[in-house]
Each structure stands twice: as structure tokens, then as C-alpha cells.
């Protein structure tokens, strides 16, 4: 039975697929190249949605590759046992995902011209999404209720540590030219506008018909049906009762799950931990 996580520098990592030696090498040895693009997120922020969107921008809306190769092979996770060797051996421009907090990220980033996109989502929705994900997975501790997971989340005793520290850490990079901050809520409200922002950041241009294809193939409805994207091909050893990563894909689902007391407790912690950011930094507040 899976009892706990893999711990590295005080941060919990899923018990399967993450090794301390690789985490060490990622931080100290991995060299970023200037044509690399990194998608940075705290888990459940919409990582896979953004990764597919970027891939579709790169293919000008052609989804052929998407239907035959699993998402984690097309856009490897830097810090995983599978992703790291893939990335170090890859020639040419690399697209990678990472959930690492800034202090565990490759040091080479800070002297590199590689581009990074940091996607932020309302942590209340992340908490709910994370609860349904981690409680189905044999990747560490399974919360027996949302209330239990709520307590763990506020303390940062969940995979990849505290949301508050993750966001605070990465937002320290927000003035860098090669760093783009996006919000899940904006992607929902104005998907086309967000795609244009990404194109501008990457120096790419889409024709109107290509834009339509990107919009279509990155939509929740389409992504939910594709086995290579929706995580349904992951084995029973990890998800004994199966999983579809595309659970709801909405904003504000937390309102259906939090009690009034939980909502108040969350607000209080949010205000304490995120004090000092300029107005508008967190559009849902």
C-alpha cells in the first residue's frame, strides 16, 4: 500500500515516477537552451490545457500527432523519471512542463534566454480539482474527505508543496522579458485573446482558419474524448478506478464544495499569505 510521498528538500512529490537523484540533477545539472519553452504550473492549474494549446500553435492547429502519442511524451515533465532523460537527449527546441517550485528549478534558467509561461488558477478551484485527482490516485496519501484535503492544502502538505509559496516564488520573475503570466480564468473567458497573447510571446502568427483549429482541438469537449490526452490510458496501478483528467473544466466549482466556514478560513489564509501584491494580480479576488 502506498503510504506517503517522495520527499525532497521538504517538498512532497508523488511516490511514483519521481526520484531524489533526478530532482537533484534537474536543479544542478540541467542546462536550458535559449529556444526552450517551459510551461510552469502548480498542479491542477490547467497545465495540460496550456500544453496542448501551445503544441497546437506550433503545429498551426494540426492535431494528428495528438491522437497517437500520449501527452506526457509530447510535452515531458522535466522533473519526472521519464521526462528528464527524454529532455536531455532531445535535439532542437524543447517544450516541457514543470510543477517545480522556483527554488528547485534548474539554476541555469536564471542565466538563460529560454521562455517560460506561468499559468495561475484560483487556488480554491485547484484545491477541489486536486482533491478529486489525488484521492483517486495511488501516488501518495489519499485524503478521506475534502475537509482533510482542505487542511493539508492550506498547510502545503500536498504534492509540490504550498500553492501560496509556489505562486509567490514564481511571480518574482514576472518582470522578466522571457516570462509570461497567464490565468486559467482568462483562458476560459477569452480563449482566443489568450492564444493571441501566447502567439505574440512566442513570435508566432496564426491565420484565422488556423486559429479556429487551435480553438477547436484545445477545447474541453475535444480534449476530454482523446485517450492520449485525458489520462485514461494510465494503468490501474496508478488509478485503480480509472480517471478522466478533464473533470469539469469550469471556474468557481469550489462554491459547490466549500462550506461557509471553509470559504472564510480560505480567504483569511489567502489574504495573509498573498499580502503585498498589486491590485489585479489575482483577478478572481
The least distance separating ligand A3P from the CB of residue 278, rounded to whole angstroms, comes to: 25
Q: Which is nearer to ligand A3P, 49 or 270 (CB)?
A: 49
Kindly report the number of other CB atoms within 10 A of residue 45's CB atom.
28
Interface pick for ligand A3P out of 6, 22, 39, 48 (rule CB under 6 A):
48
By CB under 6 A, which span of 6-14, 144-152, 195-203, 219-227 interacts with ligand A3P?
A: 219-227
The three three-digit cell numbers of residue 108, written as one number: 541555469
Nearest to 266 by CA among 176, 168, 186, 154: 154
- Distance from C-alpha of 244 to C-alpha of 260, rounded to nearest angstrom: 29
Using CB under 6 A as the binding rule, whether residue 169 contacts ligand A3P is answered as no
The least distance separating ligand A3P from the CB of residue 21, rounded to whole angstroms, comes to: 25
Using CB under 6 A as the binding rule, whether residue 220 contacts ligand A3P is answered as yes
- Distance from C-alpha of 33 to C-alpha of 191, rounded to nearest angstrom: 29
Using CB under 6 A as the binding rule, whether residue 192 contacts ligand A3P is answered as no
By CB under 6 A, which span of 43-51, 61-69, 148-156, 203-211 interacts with ligand A3P?
A: 43-51
Using CB under 6 A as the binding rule, whether residue 41 contacts ligand A3P is answered as yes
Known catalytic residue at 99:
yes
Q: Which is nearer to ligand A3P, 21 or 212 (CB)?
A: 212
The sign of the dihedral angle between the CA atoms of 71, 27, 5, 171 is negative
The least distance separating ligand A3P from the CB of residue 127, rounded to whole angstroms, comes to: 10
Q: Could you give the angle at which helices 146-155 and 260-273 cross, rounded to 10 degrees?
A: 10
Using CB under 6 A as the binding rule, whether residue 70 contacts ligand A3P is answered as no
Is residue 76 within 8 Å of residue 11, measured between CB atoms?
A: no
Report residue 162: phi and psi, to 5°.
Answer: -75, 130
Using CB under 6 A as the binding rule, whether residue 143 contacts ligand A3P is answered as no
Q: Which is nearer to ligand A3P, 222 or 274 (CB)?
A: 222
User: 6 has which bridge partners?
Assistant: 13
Q: Which is nearer to ligand A3P, 88 or 243 (CB)?
A: 243
Q: Which is nearer to ligand A3P, 108 or 284 (CB)?
A: 284
SS3 call for 167: helix
Rama region for 218: left / alpha / beta (φ>0; ψ in -120 to 50; rest):
alpha
Nearest to 52 by CA among 41, 63, 44: 63
Report residue 141: phi and psi, to 5°.
Answer: -75, 135
Site string for ligand A3P, 238-267 (x = CB under 6 A): -------xxxxx---x--------------
- Distance from C-alpha of 97 to C-alpha of 282, rounded to nearest angstrom: 22
Using CB under 6 A as the binding rule, whether residue 129 contacts ligand A3P is answered as yes
Catalytic residues: 99
Binding residues for ligand A3P (CB under 6 A): 41, 43-49, 125, 129, 218-220, 223, 245-249, 253
Amino acid at each position: 500500500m502506498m503510504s506517503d510521498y517522495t520527499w525532497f528538500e521538504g517538498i512532497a512529490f508523488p511516490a511514483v515516477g519521481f526520484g531524489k537523484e533526478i530532482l537533484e540533477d534537474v536543479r544542478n545539472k540541467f542546462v536550458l537552451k535559449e529556444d526552450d519553452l517551459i510551461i510552469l504550473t502548480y498542479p491542477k492549474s490547467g497545465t495540460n490545457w496550456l500544453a496542448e494549446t501551445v503544441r497546437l500553435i506550433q503545429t498551426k492547429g494540426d492535431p494528428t500527432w495528438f491522437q497517437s502519442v500520449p501527452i506526457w511524451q509530447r510535452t515531458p515533465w522535466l522533473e519526472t523519471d521519464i521526462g528528464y532523460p527524454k529532455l536531455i537527449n532531445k535535439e532542437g527546441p524543447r517544450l516541457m512542463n514543470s510543477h517545480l517550485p522556483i527554488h528547485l528549478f534548474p539554476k541555469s534558467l536564471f542565466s538563460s534566454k529560454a521562455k517560460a509561461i506561468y499559468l495561475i488558477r484560483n487556488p480554491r478551484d485547484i484545491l477541489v480539482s486536486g482533491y478529486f485527482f489525488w484521492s483517486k490516485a495511488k501516488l501518495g496519501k489519499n485524503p478521506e474527505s475534502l475537509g482533510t484535503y482542505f487542511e493539508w492544502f492550506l498547510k502545503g502538505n500536498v504534492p509540490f508543496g504550498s500553492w501560496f509559496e509556489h505562486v509567490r516564488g514564481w511571480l518574482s520573475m514576472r518582470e522578466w522579458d522571457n516570462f509570461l503570466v497567464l490565468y486559467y480564468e482568462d483562458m476560459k473567458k477569452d480563449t482566443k485573446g489568450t492564444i493571441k497573447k501566447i502567439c505574440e510571446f512566442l513570435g508566432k502568427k496564426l491565420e484565422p482558419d488556423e486559429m479556429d483549429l487551435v480553438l477547436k482541438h484545445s477545447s474541453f469537449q475535444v480534449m476530454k474524448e482523446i485517450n492520449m490526452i485525458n489520462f485514461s490510458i494510465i494503468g490501474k496501478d496508478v488509478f485503480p478506478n480509472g480517471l478522466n483528467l478533464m473533470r469539469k473544466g469550469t471556474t468557481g466549482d469550489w462554491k459547490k464544495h466549500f462550506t461557509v466556514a471553509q470559504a472564510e478560513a480560505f480567504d483569511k489564509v489567502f489574504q495573509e499569505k498573498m499580502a503585498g501584491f498589486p491590485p489585479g494580480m489575482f483577478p478572481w479576488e
